[in-house]
């Protein structure tokens, strides 16, 4: 098995959580070091602090994938007399790269918000706050039957044919390809100057327009022909909108106080702040990881019986009370569900690599209860 380089790891990660899903101005991507090196161990964490850097050193991780960008506001200096400068110095001296996937991982299917919705046991989930609607194209390619499987696999590996909860979707038709190579061609089938006929398949896949170039490159690399014939069609249909937060239903309804207990247990937190009397009936639940103060109106309009989010402000809590929307704030740190989520996803996608994805065991929750 091959040791991948950092670039390959991030390319695979970004098929799931592409940069274009991030909110404007969100400082995502490579924050520290280089991806241009072999990486045998990747540490996945919610936050990067000194304890996490020490953990990466101890575990021999050359790359950290973090949810919260470690350089959120632009640095004015890199003085090593202060904590942030010291952290950067430690990472650089130990050749540890740090890559951040923040709101793009919140929006991605199977990302932070889906992981939270799953942990809460929500069914029939939909996006709460729509932020991205992918334009789609259809790519059709003609390939000799012998190479059909290989080209279909290249499409799927590159992220083509991903529709909602499904991936590797494609359609194949059989037919006959005809062509005449000229005298200077180096044809895979046939010879220069002679008409040729061969059994070919036409493979069609749906691709996000933003990913079209990468997908076509992968298809051409897997195709046996010198000049593969392919078509790209613009589609009128759009992908399901993507976005922040999810709204879904509980299997059994419960009271707000029972639901608060359920939240604590499912998200592994010792307490939660609750807005509401406790007796409200809860069936439809909106959840948004991190700071969801901005979206209480959306949660109300979407028909949520309760809104689960972090960092709730005093006045926003009062607003929620006024519009009759119960809120549960289990804290911001519940986003730690992303750690195992990323480890699971990347472990599954990297079975051909000699590379381990390790969950950080450092607790970066700054609060404790007294």
SS3 of residue 54 by DSSP: helix
Of the pair 33, 331, the CB lying nearest Zn ion is at: 331
Of the pair 305, 335, the CB lying nearest Zn ion is at: 335
Can you tell me the distance from the alpha carbon of 313 to that of 316, in angstroms, rounded to the nearest whole number?
A: 5
Q: How far is the CB of 112 from Zn ion (least distance, A)?
A: 8
Q: How far is the CB of 308 from Zn ion (least distance, A)?
A: 14
| Distant-in-sequence, close-in-space partners of 348: CB < 8 Å, separation ≥ 6 | none
DSSP 8-state symbol, 143: E
Q: How far is the CB of 47 from Zn ion (least distance, A)?
A: 9
Tell me whether residue 14 is annotated as binding.
no
Number of chain residues interacting with Zn ion (CB under 5 A): 2
Neighbours of 129 (CB within 10 A): 21
Q: How far is the CB of 287 from Zn ion (least distance, A)?
A: 13
Closest alpha carbon to 297 in 278, 314, 322: 322
**In the chain, what are the helix, strand and coil shares in percent, each to the nearest 5?**
35, 30, 35
Of the pair 61, 338, the CB lying nearest Zn ion is at: 338
Tell me whether residue 31 is annotated as binding.
no
Tell me whether residue 68 is annotated as binding.
yes
**Positions in 281-300 near Zn ion (CB under 5 A):** 290
Tell me whether residue 335 is annotated as binding.
yes
SS3 of residue 338 by DSSP: helix
Tell me whether residue 165 is annotated as binding.
no
Can you tell me the distance from the alpha carbon of 26 to that of 344, in angstroms, rounded to the nearest whole number?
A: 25
Q: How far is the CB of 290 from Zn ion (least distance, A)?
A: 3
Can you tell me the distance from the alpha carbon of 317 to that of 302, in angstroms, rounded to the nearest whole number?
A: 18
DSSP 8-state symbol, 23: P
Of the pair 47, 204, the CB lying nearest Zn ion is at: 47
Q: Which residue is nearest to Zn ion (CB)?
A: 290
Of the pair 111, 290, the CB lying nearest Zn ion is at: 290
Can you tell me the distance from the alpha carbon of 292 to that of 299, in angstroms, rounded to the nearest whole number?
A: 10
Two structure tokens written together for 89: 């110095």
**Positions in 335-364 near Zn ion (CB under 5 A):** 335
Of the pair 211, 335, the CB lying nearest Zn ion is at: 335
Residue 245 near Zn ion by CB under 5 A: no
Closest alpha carbon to 158 in 113, 207, 89, 91: 207
Q: How far is the CB of 3 from Zn ion (least distance, A)?
A: 31
Question: Which string of x and - marks every residue 321-340 that binds Zn ion (by CB under 5 A)?
Answer: --------------x-----
Q: List strands edge to edge, sheet with 230-238.
A: 171-179, 196-208, 135-144, 230-238
Q: How far is the CB of 349 from Zn ion (least distance, A)?
A: 24
Strands (E), the chain: 29-32, 41-45, 63-66, 97-100, 123-132, 135-144, 171-179, 196-208, 230-238, 242-255, 273-275, 281-291, 306-310, 327-329, 356-359
Of the pair 290, 330, the CB lying nearest Zn ion is at: 290
**Positions in 182-241 near Zn ion (CB under 5 A):** none
Q: How far apart are the first and last CA of the chain?
A: 50
Q: How far is the CB of 257 from Zn ion (least distance, A)?
A: 27
Of the pair 12, 335, the CB lying nearest Zn ion is at: 335
Numbered residues of the known binding site for a divalent metal cation: 67-68, 106, 332, 335
Q: Which residues bind Zn ion (CB under 5 A)?
A: 290, 335
Numbered residues of the known binding site: 67-68, 106, 332, 335
């Amino acid at each position: 098995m091959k040791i991948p380089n950092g670039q390959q790891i991030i390319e695979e990660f970004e098929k799931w959580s592409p940069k274009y899903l991030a909110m404007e101005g969100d400082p995502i991507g490579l924050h520290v070091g280089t991806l241009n090196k072999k990486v045998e161990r990747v540490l996945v964490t919610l936050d990067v602090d000194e304890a996490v850097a020490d953990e990466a050193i101890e575990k021999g991780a050359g790359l950290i994938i973090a949810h919260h960008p470690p350089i959120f506001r632009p640095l004015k200096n890199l003085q090593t007399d202060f904590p942030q400068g010291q952290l950067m110095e430690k990472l650089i001296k130990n050749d540890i790269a740090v890559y951040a996937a923040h709101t793009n991982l919140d929006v991605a299917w199977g990302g932070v918000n889906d992981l939270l919705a799953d942990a809460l046991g929500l069914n029939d989930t939909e996006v709460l706050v729509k932020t991205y609607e992918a334009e789609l194209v259809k790519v059709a390619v003609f390939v000799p039957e012998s190479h059909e499987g290989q080209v279909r696999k290249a499409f799927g590996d590159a992220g083509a044919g991903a529709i909602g909860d499904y991936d590797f979707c494609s359609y194949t038709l059989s037919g006959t390809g005809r062509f005449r190579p000229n005298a200077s061609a180096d044809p895979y089938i046939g010879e220069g100057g002679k008409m040729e006929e061969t059994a070919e398949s036409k493979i069609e896949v749906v691709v996000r327009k933003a990913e079209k170039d990468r997908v076509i490159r992968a298809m051409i690399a897997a195709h046996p022909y010198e000049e593969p014939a392919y078509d790209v069609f613009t589609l009128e249909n759009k992908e399901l909108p993507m976005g922040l937060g999810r709204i879904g239903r509980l299997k059994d309804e419960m009271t707000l106080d029972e639901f608060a207990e359920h939240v604590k247990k499912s998200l592994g937190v010792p307490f939660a702040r609750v807005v509401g009397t406790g007796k409200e009936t809860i069936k439809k639940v909106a959840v948004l990881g991190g700071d969801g103060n901005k979206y209480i109106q959306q949660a109300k309009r979407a028909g949520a019986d309760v809104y689960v989010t972090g960092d709730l402000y005093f006045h926003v809590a009062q607003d929620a009370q006024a519009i009759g929307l119960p809120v549960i704030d289990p804290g911001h740190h519940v986003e730690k569900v992303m750690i195992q989520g990323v480890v699971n996803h990347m472990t599954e996608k990297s079975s051909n690599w000699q590379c381990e994805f390790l969950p950080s065991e450092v607790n970066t929750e700054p609060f404790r209860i007294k």
